Amino acid sequence: MLELPGDLWTIEADARCVTTNGVVRPSGALVMGAGNARQAIQRYPGIDKRLGRLVRAYGNRPYYLADLGIISFPTKHDWHNDSDLELIQISALHLVELADEHKLARVALPRPGCGLGGLEWADVRPVLAVILDDRFLVVHKDGPAGSQPAPARPHEESAPKHLRK
């Protein structure tokens, strides 16, 4: 795991993680109302509905939206609550599986569970450090306003191979 200053949305990466929760609205959309999840909705309209369908079908775990270069990274079970360190650990393990399966060489992520999640990086870092190798770039500072989304990728949505029905 490498820690770099920068902007999640502009740092060079094959994919970038968006921290999420497990609450799906009656409309079918995943609740993505704050932080980098909200930024993802602004950049990729409809991502909340795509992730909502996956969470409803397979549960609250990471999903790779290849055409967007986005991987959801659950840190909360419910958006009302603080982030859950055990869920972050499980999400990191699934993230490694997705990166292996899709041959992703560089995956950017924010400090999961920190900020709006209520956790301290000093508590989260040691959990991730034993799971994430140097393909994973933890971006720890916001970059300039107005950055653009990553280029589109061929359409693919997937959970880790062993979780697919």
Q: How many domains does the chain have?
A: 1
Supply the CATH number for residue 18's domain.
3.40.220.10
The two tokens of residue 124 are 């989260």
Q: According to the model, what pLDDT value does residue 54 have?
A: 97
Q: Is residue 33 pLDDT above 50, yes or no?
A: yes
| Residue 155 bridge partners (DSSP) | none
CA dist 28 and 145 (Å) reads 30
pLDDT in tens, 60-117: 999 999 999 999 999 999 999 999 999 999 999 999 999 999 999 999 999 999 988 9
Q: According to the model, what pLDDT value does residue 145 have?
A: 35
Burial 138-155 (b: 16+ CB within 10 A, else e): bbeeeeeeeeebbeebee
First to last CA, the chain: 31
Helix H or strand E segment including 162: none
Give the residue numbers spanning the domain of 59.
Answer: 2-163
